[in-house]
């Protein structure tokens, strides 16, 4: 037994040594090839191929001979391999490519013709031959191979997917789209594959006409074959990618009616429109679902979302019309009167509380409404109670009730473990300490929150911690820093005239120069909140031009981009600031989002549409 184990160990060590030696030879062979020492590379690749039989080494052996212009030796070697492997079409095409490199065009043509003529009803032959042609940049011959395969294997395999990929390589867009359409007629289950391929194609293409061509082709198919719903589905996807949600909705409604669907497609599209701030289309979509009747699957959810979207539309208009806000309040109250205050109407409760507190100065009414959630736990889920308490904490803080706000934030933090809402509550407690002038404690809490799973909270925590650290050293008395935190607290409580007074006090203090960019940024936030867009632009632009190397510069650029895109509908100026973000501030928190939004505005299709909405409503340095 001992002798047997010794033999096994010896054989294992021998194999290990042989493997190590082979690995060293491979590395050396590739190093010779990279260094253009082709004679040495050829010798080693040949040896490796002889020992291991790996066609990969044979291909490099031939490539080395071709670089040495040793075409005769290469031809002999390939022909020898073809004799040993007569069914290997990659070798036959390798020989044709050798003739091409050596300048023997007649031999090349004959070799390639012979390859194509020899293809029969073996599916793998077509794949192997076409792939070899593509590897050698012989796209026309690859196309001929696939087309012959279509004829020879009719009913067995169509090669539509392969032809579409081939045409994509050559930017033959119309042919590519036609092949995908043919594939969908043949196999409708391939729609997701086709959609993914088209998305990749449009994403990588610099030809803006491709998207329009695809759109036109799909429209023609929906007109020719109205019962082939998959083309309408592709159009809905394409319009959504282009942010043309109204066009997408028209096709979605047509599909919903034709297929007698339950409205789920419409509901999903409405949510996407809302996330991209197309509130008008979303309202139209929800109204359609509501019109289907109370027996509909999505009826109640649509009524909730309709009111929430109406709130977003009204509050994001350039001017808040009091009459619209009052009508919205009535609609929200009527909805709660009809459906009760419970977990199913919770989102409407939150919106009504915000309308009353932030737009109608009915803070006490808002607090009483939220207490119906926080103090009556049975009809509500734990996360809903926590969300209500967070907003309740904000409103009590607006009334300068610091103690009650602290209690509410602490309850949310303790009741939610390591959930994001607990981090948000902890952040609000730290902000409260900052407002109160307890800067070191606030900074310590922010340092903990920098590790939060919420990217937004982590970024805001980092910003405030850095802000305190920079300015507490420059201001040993902390008087200027306290003035700044007072401005933030006044702004939080919607006492904006007092906030502006504090900020102006800082801006006329020469010793407070380190806070100037923060003060201009905060003034811009206050003007923006009050829909004074021209004044906000001046403030943000001041930060961007006078303090372009400071941490607030990319924040100002981001705010300007949002203002121009969403408030003033000036997409060209929005593009300018978005491009500025990812070119001049590529390491900033906003760079990735800016790049995606820039491409969307430019008309590109992006691979990832799940952009994170960034909430900058909390005053942050």
**Which has the closest alpha carbon to 351: 301, 359, 262, 78?**
359
Q: Over range 133-152, report the average pLDDT.
A: 96
The pair of three-digit structure tokens given for residue 165, joined into one six-digit string: 């990929």
Neighbours of 498 (CB within 10 A): 14
What angle, 0 to 180 degrees and rounded to 10, lies between the N-to-C axes of helices 38-52 and 2-34? 150
pLDDT per position as a tens digit, 586-596: 999 999 999 99
For residue 452, the model assigns a pLDDT of 80
Is the confidence at residue 472, as pLDDT, over 90? no
Q: Over range 102-112, report the average pLDDT.
A: 95
Residue 323 backbone phi and psi in degrees, to 5 = -65, -40
For 466-526, what is the HEC assignment? Answer: HHHHHHHHHCCCCHHHHHHHHHHHHHHCCCHHHHHHHHHHHHCCHHHHHHHHHHHHHHHHH
Model confidence at 562, pLDDT cuts 50, 70, 90, reads very high
For residue 565, the model assigns a pLDDT of 93
DSSP 230-242: HHHHHHHHHHHHT
Helix, strand or coil, per DSSP, at residue 532: coil
Model confidence at 11, pLDDT cuts 50, 70, 90, reads very low
Instruction: Tell me which residue has tokens 């009527």.
Output: 334
Residues across the chain: 621
| Residue 500 · residue 531 · CB < 8 Å | no
| Residue 383 · residue 421 · CB < 8 Å | yes
Measure the CA–CA gap between 214 and 232, rounded to whole angstroms.
12
Q: Over range 379-401, report the average pLDDT.
A: 95
Q: Over range 533-548, report the average pLDDT.
A: 97
CA 570 to chain centre: 23
Instruction: Tell me which residue has tokens 């034709």.
Output: 258
For residue 619, the model assigns a pLDDT of 32
For residue 24, the model assigns a pLDDT of 87
HSE, side-chain direction, 13 A CA sphere, residue 272: 20
Measure the CA–CA gap between 48 and 34, rounded to whole angstroms.
17
Q: Over range 100-128, report the average pLDDT.
A: 95
The pair of three-digit structure tokens given for residue 416, joined into one six-digit string: 């939610």
- Rounded mean pLDDT of the chain? 90
Opening angle at CA 215, ends 212 and 220, nearest 5: 125
Model confidence at 22, pLDDT cuts 50, 70, 90, reads low
For residue 434, the model assigns a pLDDT of 96
The per-residue b/e assignment along 128-143, b for 16 or more CB within 10 angstroms, e otherwise, is bbbbbbbebebbebbb
Is the confidence at residue 3, as pLDDT, over 80? no
**Which has the closest alpha carbon to 616: 547, 559, 537?**
559
pLDDT per position as a tens digit, 414-469: 999 999 999 999 999 999 999 999 999 999 999 999 888 788 899 999 999 999 99
Model confidence at 318, pLDDT cuts 50, 70, 90, reads confident
Q: Where are the chain's structural domains? A: 479-602
Q: Over range 406-410, report the average pLDDT.
A: 97
Q: Which residue has the higher pLDDT, 45 or 291?
A: 291
The pair of three-digit structure tokens given for residue 276, joined into one six-digit string: 């991209």
Instruction: Using CA atoms of 71, 72, 78, 83 in order, give the dihedral in degrees to the nearest 10.
Output: 160
Is the confidence at residue 606, as pLDDT, over 70? no
pTM beyond cutoff 0.95: no
Q: Would you give the DSSP letter of residue 171? A: T
pLDDT per position as a tens digit, 228-269: 899 999 999 999 988 999 999 999 999 999 999 999 999 999
* % of the chain beyond a pLDDT of 90: 80
Query: For the purposes of burial, counting CB atoms within 10 Å of the CB of 334, is it exposed (0-12), middle (13-18) or buried (19 or more)?
Result: exposed
Instruction: Using CA atoms of 552, 556, 557, 559 in order, give the dihedral in degrees to the nearest 10.
Output: 140
Helix residue ranges per DSSP H, 153-298: 160-169, 173-186, 191-204, 209-224, 229-241, 245-258, 264-275, 279-291
| Residue 467 · residue 419 · CB < 8 Å | no
| CATH H-level, domain 479-602: superfamily | Tetratricopeptide repeat domain (1.25.40.10)
Q: Which residue has the higher pLDDT, 618 or 383?
A: 383
H-helix or E-strand containing 443? helix 439-449
Q: Would you give the DSSP letter of residue 380? A: S
For residue 474, the model assigns a pLDDT of 66
| Residue 235 · residue 215 · CB < 8 Å | yes
Neighbours of 207 (CB within 10 A): 12
For residue 217, the model assigns a pLDDT of 96
The pair of three-digit structure tokens given for residue 548, joined into one six-digit string: 């372009």
Measure the CA–CA gap between 58 and 129, rounded to whole angstroms.
18
Helix, strand or coil, per DSSP, at residue 26: helix
Is the confidence at residue 609, as pLDDT, over 50? no
Is the confidence at residue 324, as pLDDT, over 80? yes
For residue 56, the model assigns a pLDDT of 87
Measure the CA–CA gap between 518 and 537, rounded to whole angstroms.
15
For residue 200, the model assigns a pLDDT of 86
Straight-line distance from the first to the last Cα atom of the chain, in angstroms, rounded to the nearest whole number: 76
Measure the CA–CA gap between 366 and 371, rounded to whole angstroms.
9
- 63, 98, 236 from 78: Cα distances, Å: 11, 9, 52
For residue 201, the model assigns a pLDDT of 86
Q: Which residue has the higher pLDDT, 49 or 127?
A: 127
């Amino acid at each position: 037994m001992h002798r047997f184990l010794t033999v096994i160990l010896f054989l294992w060590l021998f194999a290990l040594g042989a493997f190590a030696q082979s690995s060293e030879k491979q590395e050396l062979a590739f190093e010779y090839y990279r260094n253009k020492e082709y004679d040495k590379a050829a010798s080693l690749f040949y040896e490796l191929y002889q020992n291991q039989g790996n066609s990969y080494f044979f291909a490099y052996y031939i490539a080395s001979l071709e670089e040495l212009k040793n075409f005769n030796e290469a031809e002999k070697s390939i022909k020898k391999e073809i004799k040993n492997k007569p069914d290997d079409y990659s070798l036959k095409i390798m020989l044709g490519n050798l003739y091409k490199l050596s300048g023997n065009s007649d031999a090349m043509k004959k070799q390639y013709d012979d390859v194509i003529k020899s293809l029969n009803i073996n599916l793998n032959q077509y794949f192997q031959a076409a792939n070899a042609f593509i590897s050698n940049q012989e796209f026309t011959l690859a196309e001929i191979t696939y087309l012959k395969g279509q004829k020879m294997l009719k009913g067995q395999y169509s090669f539509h997917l392969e032809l579409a990929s081939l045409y994509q390589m050559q930017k033959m867009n119309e042919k590519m789209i036609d092949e995908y359409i043919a594939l969908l007629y043949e196999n409708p289950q391939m729609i997701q594959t086709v959609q993914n391929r088209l998305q990749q194609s449009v994403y990588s293409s610099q030809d803006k006409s491709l998207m329009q061509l695809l759109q036109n082709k799909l429209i023609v198919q929906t007109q020719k074959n109205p019962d082939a719903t998959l083309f309408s589905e592709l159009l809905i996807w394409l319009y959504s990618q282009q942010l043309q949600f109204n066009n997408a909705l028209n096709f979605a409604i047509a599909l919903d009616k034709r297929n007698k669907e339950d409205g789920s497609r419409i509901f999903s599209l409405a949510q996407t429109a809302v996330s991209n701030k197309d509130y008008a289309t979303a309202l139209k979509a929800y109204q359609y679902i509501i019109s289907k009747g109370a027996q509909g699957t999505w009826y109640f959810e649509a009524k909730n979302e309709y009111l929430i979207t109406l709130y977003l539309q009204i509050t994001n208009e350039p001017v808040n019309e009091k009459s619209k806000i009052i009508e919205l309040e009535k609609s929200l109250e009527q909805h709660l009167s009809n459906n009760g205050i419970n977990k199913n109407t919770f989102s409407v409760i939150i919106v009504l509380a915000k309308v009353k507190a932030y737009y109608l100065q009915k803070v006490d009414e808002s607090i009483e409404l939220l207490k119906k959630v926080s103090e009556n736990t049975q009809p509500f889920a734990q996360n809903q109670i926590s969300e209500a308490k967070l907003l309740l904490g904000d409103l009590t803080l607006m009334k300068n009730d610091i103690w009650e706000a602290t209690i509410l934030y602490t309850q949310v933090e303790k009741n939610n473990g390591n959930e994001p809402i607990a981090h948000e509550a902890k952040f609000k407690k730290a902000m409260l300490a900052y407002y109160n002038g307890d800067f070191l404690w606030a900074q310590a809490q922010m340092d903990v929150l920098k590790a939060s799973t919420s990217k937004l909270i982590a970024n805001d925590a980092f910003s405030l911690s850095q802000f305190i650290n920079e300015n507490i050293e420059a201001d040993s008395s902390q008087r200027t820093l306290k003035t700044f935190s007072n401005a933030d607290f006044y702004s939080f409580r919607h006492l904006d005239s007092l906030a502006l007074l504090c900020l102006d006090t800082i801006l006329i203090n020469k010793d407070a120069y380190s806070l100037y960019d923060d003060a201009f940024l905060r003034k811009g936030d206050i003007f923006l909140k009050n829909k004074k867009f021209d004044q906000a632009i001046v403030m943000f632009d001041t930060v961007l031009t006078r303090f372009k190397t400071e941490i607030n510069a990319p924040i100002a650029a981001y705010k300007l981009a949002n203002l121009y895109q969403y408030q003033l509908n000036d997409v060209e100026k929005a593009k300018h600031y978005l491009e500025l973000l990812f070119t001049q501030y590529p390491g900033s928190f906003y760079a990735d989002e800016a790049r995606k939004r820039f491409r969307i505005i430019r008309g590109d299709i992006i691979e990832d549409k799940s952009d994170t909405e960034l909430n900058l409503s909390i005053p942050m340095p």
